Structures are given as structure tokens and as C-alpha cells.
Amino acid sequence: MARAVGALVALGVLALMLYGYLPKPQPVDVVLVHRGPIQVTVDEEAKTRVRDRYVVAAPAAGIVSRIELEPGDVVKPGVVLATIRPLRSALLDPQARAAAEASLAAALDAERQSAAAVARAEAVAEGARRSHARTDKLSKEGAATVQELDASNAELRAREGELASARFAAKVAAHQVQSARAVLGLLQGRGAHGTESLPVTSPVAGQVLRLLQESEGPVAVGTPLIEIGDIGALEVVSDLLTRDAVLVRPGMRVILDRWGGGRTLEGRVRRVEPSAFTFTSALGVQEQRVNVLVDLAGTPAEREPIGDGYALEARFVLFEAPDVLQVPRSAVFRQGDGWAVFSIRAGHARLAPVKLGHSSSADVELLEGLTQDSPVIVHPGDAVADGVAVRPRR
């Protein structure tokens, strides 16, 4: 009996020693393959700017009066912003009169061109309205998708924005004609005695954005005095790396965040500018970037706190789907020319080749290789290999 007990004890000690030498299961982080929405975006910093702005410049050389307006003040078309007392030498100078006549001729040409641009923009906008009406009707009948209706809405907003810009330019052109005529009249007659003052008026309705010449003093022809714009007509501009910009298309949805409000705003890409520029980063690295212009959705009242030059973050939505099979990006790694993950079967890590689709910042679409609710290892370390015993980390 004593021998049997001793043998059992020896066997137990031997078993414990063997168990101590056996490899322990590696603790790993585990998630399940799941279905859900995915969104692929290009994220970049952006800023707002007034879409149509106008810098009022001195139409003649002379002494400009002090500008009493302040940034944020509302002005109406024709309101006097400042006055200029032309220099007597300029009033008597035939060369100045010839230059004024040339300026008037150029302003008249610009006015005719702007009128033609308005006519073109009106025709395009009317076509967009008719197209949107058809798409809206088809949508109500179930013959057009929500995406097609959204695209039609974006197209209509873009064309109406272009029409508003064309009309703004036409008002500016008419104001330049009026200003050129006033300067020419002053140089040709009444101002010859040096007693006339030339009023500098606002070409459009809007708000004062910046004062470029506040105090009274001498100015040359073309000196910027004041900048005016419609703060309700904002757009967003973001400079993307060229390798990201080639993925962006007009009409693409844009999510605008981190502007200081408690909610996100939306917009649509209006234009990807055709010419890139070189930008030197804070680390001294030269990058090729291109400006992308975005039209804001909604009404000015919905984004009332935002003004000109405000910073925000733009997320350009390249792809989105409401329900796809996906895994975290941290579970996927390169395997030869393809991709793979470590799944778990019977307590062991198993190498599983997979075929991937779209990839977001956190997840990646899974096209082939695993099924829903399959356990996979995230952040697999060097200790994890095919066939290694593993256990989920608690």
C-alpha cells in the first residue's frame, strides 16, 4: 500500500514538472468579425472664406478721408465709404486723363463680359432647376434613388451659387464703370480748381471684412482701402495632397467638424482646382498640394456662428456603405502578396488568408476568408504564430 501511494506521489510530481515545462497559452486580444457601416474618408484641415468678396481700391490718386466703418458693419450698394481729394497735378495732367479714358473703356468691356456671364449662368441654373424637378418627381415615384436626388440637389446648389457669383461680378463691373466715369469727369472739368472730392462708394451689399486703409492720408491709384463681402455666402477651402486630391470628385459629400459648434456640418465638393502648388511643412518637407472648394449645405442661419477664415476639419467621403463584413485594421497584416489574420480555432491561432475591400481609419472591409462572428486576434505580437496556443486576455 505504501508503495502504491509513493508511486502515485511520484507520478504527480512528475506530471507537475512536465506541466511546468509545457508552453503556456499566449494571452491575446480578441474581437469578432462583425457587420456594420463603413466610411472611407480623406481628412484634412480646412477653413471658411467668403465666396464673393470685393476689395474697394482708390480710383484716383489723392488724399483719402478717414474711414469710419468697422469690420462687421453692414453696407448697402452706393453708400459712401470714403472720399478722395485728387491732387491738383493729376487734374492738370493729360496723361492722367488718357489713363482714365482707358480705364473707362476697360470697365465697359468688363461690364459687357459680366452681363454675358450672367446670361450663361442663368441658362445653366435654369437647366439645373428643371433637372432637379424631374429627379425629385422620379424620387417620389420610386424611380430615382436617394443618392441621385442628393446629387441633383448638390448640382442645383452649385449652379445657383455660380449664378449668384456672376451677378455679384456684374454689380462690381457696373460700379467700376461708374467710378471710372466719375474720375474721368473730375479730370476733364469740374475738378480743375481742386475743390471737388471724389466719393468712393460700395459696389455691393455686404459686411465690412477688413479695413486696409483706416486713417486719412495720401494714396496712389489702386491702393486697397476696404474689403467687403457677403458673410452669408461662405465656402470651404481645403488644400489636399495631390495623391489624395485625385480621389476627390465634384459632388462628393464632405463632413465638416471641429468648427466649435456642437454638431457637424455637411457640404459638397464644387471644384478641384487644376493647378497644384508647393507647400513646405513645419518639418521642412516640400509637399505638392491642390485646393479643393466645398459648398456648404443648409442655410446661413444653421451655421450662423461661423465667419470668414474660421478653421475646421473636412472629411471627404470617398466611399460609405451601411452594412459590410469588417474587421479592425489592427488585426490585418501582410502575408506574401496578400493579406491575412490570425483566427482562433480550438484554443490555437490559425493563419487565415483574407481578401480585403475598402479600408477606413479603423476598420477594413472583409470580402473573403472568414465569416461573421469568427474570433480574430488584434495586435498579434511576435509570440503569435500559426498553431500557437492562445487565450483571450481579460
Q: What is the spatial distance between Cα 353 and Cα 55, in angstroms, rounded to a whole number?
A: 61
Pairing mode of beta strands 34-50, 234-241:
antiparallel
Locate 357 and state its grid cell.
Answer: 475591400
Give me the mean pLDDT over the 98-119 stretch.
Answer: 77
* pLDDT tens digits, one per residue of 139-176: 887 777 877 777 777 777 778 777 777 777 777 777 77
Q: What is the spatial distance between Cα 136 and Cα 152, in angstroms, rounded to a whole number?
A: 8
| pLDDT of 361 | 84
Residue 17 has pLDDT above 60, yes or no: no
Q: Which residue has the higher pLDDT, 118 or 247?
A: 247
CB 384 within 8 A of CB 28: yes
Q: What is the spatial distance between Cα 157 and Cα 114, in angstroms, rounded to a whole number?
A: 21
CB 287 within 8 A of CB 279: yes
CB atoms within 10 A of CB 346: 6
Residue among 377, 381, 387 at smallest CA distance from 29: 377
Residue 322, CB-side half-sphere exposure with 13 Å CA sphere:
0
For the four alpha carbons of 178, 184, 185 and 190, in that order, the dihedral sign comes to positive
Work out the pLDDT band at 194, boundaries 50, 70, 90: very low
Q: What is the spatial distance between Cα 41 and Cα 316, in angstroms, rounded to a whole number?
A: 5
Helix (H, G, I), strand (E, B) or coil at 379: coil
Give me the mean pLDDT over the 168-192 stretch.
Answer: 69
Residue 92 has pLDDT above 70, yes or no: no
Locate 199 and state its grid cell.
Answer: 466719393
**Helix and strand numbers, DSSP H then E, in the chain:** 5, 22
Helix (H, G, I), strand (E, B) or coil at 259: coil
Residue 215, classified by CB atoms within 10 Å of its CB into exposed (0-12), middle (13-18) or buried (19+), is exposed
Work out the pLDDT band at 93, boundaries 50, 70, 90: low
Q: What is the spatial distance between Cα 355 and Cα 360, in angstroms, rounded to a whole number?
A: 15
What's the angle, vertex CA 363, arms to CA 281 and CA 382, rounded to 5? 85
CB 162 within 8 A of CB 270: no
Helix (H, G, I), strand (E, B) or coil at 229: strand
Mean pLDDT of the chain: 83
pTM above 0.85, yes or no: no
| pLDDT of 15 | 56
Residue among 271, 299, 309 at smallest CA distance from 49: 309
Cell 455691393: give the residue.
204
Give phi and psi for 113, each to the nearest 5. Answer: -65, -40
**96 Cβ neighbours under 8 A, 6+ residues apart:** 90, 187
Locate 338 and state its grid cell.
Answer: 496578400
Residue 190, classified by CB atoms within 10 Å of its CB into exposed (0-12), middle (13-18) or buried (19+), is exposed
Helix (H, G, I), strand (E, B) or coil at 136: helix
Alpha carbon 387 to chain centroid distance? 48
Alpha carbon 317 to chain centroid distance? 11
Residue 23 has pLDDT above 80, yes or no: no
Give phi and psi for 376, each to the nearest 5. Answer: -130, 155
R_g over Cα of the chain: 34
Give me the mean pLDDT over the 253-266 stretch.
Answer: 87
Work out the pLDDT band at 191, boundaries 50, 70, 90: very low
Pairing mode of beta strands 348-359, 363-368:
antiparallel
